[in-house]
Amino acid sequence: MPHPYVLLSAAVSLDGHLDDTGPERLLLSGPEDFDRVDEVRAASDAILIGAGTLRADDPRLLIRSARRRAARVAAGLPEFPLKVLVTGSGELDPAARFWRTGGRKAVYTTRRGAPRAQEALRGRIDDTHGVDVVPVGPELDWRAVLEHLHAVYGVRRLMVEGGGSVHTQLLRQGLADELQLAVAPLLVGDPGAPRLFGPGAYPPGRLRLKETRPVGDMVLARYRPVAPGAGPLASAADRHWLALACDLARECPPSTTAFSVGAVVVAEDGTELARGHSREGGDPVVHAEEAALAKIDPADPRLPSATVYSSLEPCARRASRPAPCARLILDAGVRRVVTAWREPDTFVPGADGSGVLAAGGAEVVPPTAYPELTERAKAPNRHLLGGPA
């Protein structure tokens, strides 16, 4: 099921700490970074924190700029984003500022924690905008939280402001789409101080750096976990590249006799090797995977560990070329393919490109892994499917 774009946001010291161990909160951000965070909040549909952050900081999670609040209202949005709290136990402080400021709020918890949360909040807060308590199962299920936020509250962009445990879980489970780190020019040096990411089995490889820029005396670094392959970051990476393939399908010249398809070839370290789309370059019969692979040196040592992302299952049979795309992929040495849409019987009844790939030793991630992208892949082909264009 679809879920929001998840942006992890944090300010850290040069040695990776979120705070020190003193009684007062360590202020890492300066005025320029506070304003930047305010801008990110204003562009978000919801802001999420964990119960530990609520207890430690009691943040209000407001948009401070009156201009930004007015712009949201003018765009038909609530003045403030939905405020989201996640707690396994359901133990809450009803006197926290979190409940008394901003707009609507939602608490995600376990079935065991829901009665505690409801009892803690009952009749003790200003319920003008409402607080929903949502149990998501016997244990906290992050995917269920994200899917509920998307389906029920219409959240398309979620900003996560902590704490370290929440950031760690989302990143390790492959549910983070972007990481924004504001690095402060100071050192904490206390081994007992909280860190941004906790210990655990992190996947190998590197995140993709998208931007760096100064913000006052701090440096903002934006990363995307887009290195493909197995591991906790795989789903976020796959979703990113597969969405790009679906967008490339929109660039295809229209046709009544062939599908519009986009494809991207990505190295194991997250480097884009090539992209292509159907009928690219004026060739009326070239396929997307074929166009992309043709741009890569066949001797490139990165091909065996690369991934092909295609908006449509690679073809198993075709009349216009000697080799179908499934065979071209195997011959190139690629052994991992991610698709958004299974090829229908419109032109080639019984086509099974995934079967050809699997028989050739390739791992095929089917459309059921990312069902939210199937409609995106179909969109440029509506005229071939009997639906509205």
Q: Which tens digit of pLDDT belongs to each residue from 160-195?
A: 998 899 999 998 887 888 899 999 999 999 999 999
Whether residue 89 contacts residue 113, with contact meaning beta carbons closer than 8 Å, is answered with yes
Distance separating alpha carbons of residues 79 and 74, to the nearest angstrom: 9
Whether residue 121 contacts residue 99, with contact meaning beta carbons closer than 8 Å, is answered with yes
181-195 core/surface letters (b: 16 or more CB in 10 A; e: else): bbbbeeebeeeebbb
What does CATH list as the number for 5-224?
3.40.430.10
Phi, psi of 170 (to 5 degrees): -65, -40
Task: Please list the alpha-helical segments (H only) found in the chain.
Answer: 31-42, 51-57, 66-74, 97-100, 113-121, 142-153, 164-172, 234-249, 288-293, 325-331, 353-359, 374-378, 382-385
Q: Which residues contact 192 (CB under 8 A, 6 or more apart)?
A: 21
Whether this model's pTM surpasses 0.85 = no
Query: How many C-beta atoms lie closer than 10 Å to residue 216's C-beta?
Result: 17
Amino acid (one-letter) located at 285: V
> Could you tell me whether strands 336-339 and 307-310 are parallel, antiparallel, or unpaired per DSSP bridges?
parallel
Superfamily of domain 234-385: Cytidine Deaminase, domain 2 (3.40.140.10)
Whether residue 222 contacts residue 178, with contact meaning beta carbons closer than 8 Å, is answered with yes
Give the DSSP letter of residue 17. Answer: B
Q: 275 to each of 4, 81, 338, how far by Cα in Å?
A: 26, 36, 14
Distance separating alpha carbons of residues 233 and 177, to the nearest angstrom: 9
Whether residue 266 contacts residue 306, with contact meaning beta carbons closer than 8 Å, is answered with yes
Whether residue 316 contacts residue 359, with contact meaning beta carbons closer than 8 Å, is answered with no
- pLDDT on residue 124: 57
Q: From the centroid of its chain, how far is CA 380?
A: 23
Q: Point out the residues of the chain with pLDDT beneath 70.
A: 1-2, 123-129, 202-205, 226-235, 387-389
How long is the chain? 389
- pLDDT on residue 226: 56
Segment holding 215, helix H or strand E: strand 208-215
Whether residue 276 contacts residue 262, with contact meaning beta carbons closer than 8 Å, is answered with yes
Upper half-sphere CA count for residue 288 (Cβ side, 13 Å): 31
- pLDDT on residue 128: 41
Locate CATH 3.40.140.10 in the chain.
Answer: 234-385
Give CA angle at 280 (277, 281), nearest 5°: 155
Q: 77 to each of 73, 81, 154, 158, 160, how far by Cα in Å?
A: 5, 8, 11, 15, 19
User: Token pair for residue 40?
Assistant: 């990110």
Whether residue 241 contacts residue 309, with contact meaning beta carbons closer than 8 Å, is answered with yes
Distance separating alpha carbons of residues 236 and 211, to the nearest angstrom: 18
